[in-house]
């Protein structure tokens, strides 16, 4: 499909991160249970990957399950984990067809075994795909990621591999789950919530933020394109003054 004329193909964010929010409220508004909302969110994921790939976005990170989400009712957590396994199986062929590489961030060791196995398989199978990297944030929170990184760095201090007082930003970035990915340039959050909810706190330092009231299961091509148009309307100054970046 053609890129809309309102989008400048020379200014596409290389990494887009999305907080997919509002599944529960969308379902409840329809008199359905929350899991109905999560299941319907899969179509939005499909469509978003397709649009991102069309625009030649290189990395797409989707916040799928936070460390805080374990506090939800057990039934919802179990349903989400089952949906994850089912979706990996049902979508794998499409990921291959579209040359999508799957990657993850977050502490996967705490996910149910069948989830970990399915994820591992899909990550390995898609490892050589080159068009776009789809990064699923699973059992992820930024503070958890940072604490895991700090603990490994503390060990490196003991081993003499890091020297206190000489630790730089790159030393930390190497230890983050996102070590092999660039920082997101655009963050999208759906459902009208205007917060970061413990997502990529370090990596979003200079991201542009786009908020939309649309609930995730209703998120479609037009909404993704609107976010890109919004991104392109921003002047990214990185601390400088306007005249310096024009």
List interacting residues with Mg ion (CB under 5 A).
21
Please give the residues from 80 up to 109 whose contact with ligand IPE meets the rule CB under 6 A. 80
Residue 191 contacts ligand IPE per CB under 6 A: yes
> What is the rounded CA–CA span in Å between residue 70 and residue 67?
6
* Cβ-closest position to Mg ion: 21
Nearest distance, CB of residue 192 and Mg ion, angstroms: 10
Residue 14 contacts ligand IPE per CB under 6 A: no
Q: Which is nearer to ligand IPE, 59 or 63 (CB)?
A: 63
Task: Say whether 69 is catalytic.
Answer: yes
Which one among 12, 57, 64, 88 touches ligand IPE, defined by CB under 6 A?
Answer: 64
C-alpha dihedral (185, 190, 196, 197), degrees to nearest 10: -140
Q: Which of 176, 178, 183 is nearest to 150 (CA)?
A: 176
At 243, list the tokens: 């005249």
Q: Which is nearer to ligand IPE, 102 or 200 (CB)?
A: 200
> Which of Mg ion, ligand IPE, none does residue 64 bind (CB under 5 to 8 Å by kind)?
ligand IPE
Q: Tell me 198's DSSP state.
A: T
> 71 exposed, middle or buried (CB, 10 Å; 0-12, 13-18, 19+)?
exposed
Here's the x/- map for ligand IPE, 205-244, by CB under 6 A: it reads as -----------x----------------------------
State the catalytic residue, choosing from 8, 10, 11, 21.
Answer: 21
Nearest distance, CB of residue 183 and Mg ion, angstroms: 24
Q: Which of 10, 60, 16 is nearest to 204 (CA)?
A: 16
Which residues lie closer than 8 Å to 104 by C-beta, 6 or more apart? 119, 123, 135, 136, 137, 138, 177
Q: Is residue 191 within 8 Å of 214, Cβ to Cβ?
A: yes
Task: Say whether 8 is catalytic.
Answer: no
* Cβ-closest position to ligand IPE: 24
> Which of Mg ion, ligand IPE, none does residue 63 bind (CB under 5 to 8 Å by kind)?
ligand IPE
Q: Please state the φ and ψ torsions of residue 81, each to the nearest 5 degrees.
A: -65, -40
> Which of ligand IPE, Mg ion, none does residue 65 bind (CB under 5 to 8 Å by kind)?
ligand IPE
Please give the residues from 125 up to 184 whose contact with ligand IPE meets the rule CB under 6 A. none
Query: Pairing relation of β-strands 100-105 and 132-140?
Result: parallel
Q: Which is nearer to ligand IPE, 19 or 52 (CB)?
A: 19
> What is the rounded CA–CA span in Å between residue 199 and residue 188?
12
Q: Is residue 13 within 8 Å of 184, Cβ to Cβ?
A: yes
Active site residues per annotation: 21, 69
Which spans of this chain sit near ligand IPE (rule: CB under 6 A)?
19-25, 63-66, 69, 80, 191, 193, 195, 197, 216
């Amino acid at each position: 499909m053609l890129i809309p004329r309102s989008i400048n193909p020379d200014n596409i964010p290389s990494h887009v991160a999305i907080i997919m929010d509002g599944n529960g409220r969308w379902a409840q508004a329809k008199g359905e249970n929350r899991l109905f909302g999560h299941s319907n969110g899969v179509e939005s994921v499909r469509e978003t990957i397709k649009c991102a790939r069309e625009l030649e976005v290189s990395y797409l990170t989707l916040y799928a399950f936070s460390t805080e989400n374990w506090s939800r009712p057990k039934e919802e957590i179990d349903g989400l984990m089952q949906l994850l396994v089912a979706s990996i199986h049902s979508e794998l062929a499409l990921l291959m067809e579209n040359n999508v590489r799957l990657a993850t961030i977050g502490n996967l060791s705490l996910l149910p075994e069948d989830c970990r196995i399915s994820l591992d398989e899909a990550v390995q199978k898609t490892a050589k795909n080159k068009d776009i990297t789809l990064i699923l944030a699973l059992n992820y929170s930024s503070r958890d990621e940072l604490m895991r990184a700090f603990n490994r760095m503390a060990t490196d201090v003991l081993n003499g591999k890091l020297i206190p007082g000489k630790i730089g930003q790159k030393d930390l970035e190497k230890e983050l789950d996102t070590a092999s990915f660039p920082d997101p340039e655009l963050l999208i959050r759906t459902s009208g919530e205007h917060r970061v909810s413990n997502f990529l706190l370090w990596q979003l330092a200079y991201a542009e933020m786009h908020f939309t009231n649309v609930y995730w299961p209703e998120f479609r091509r037009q909404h993704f394109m609107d976010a890109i148009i919004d991104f392109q309307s921003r002047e990214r100054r990185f601390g400088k003054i306007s005249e310096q970046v024009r």
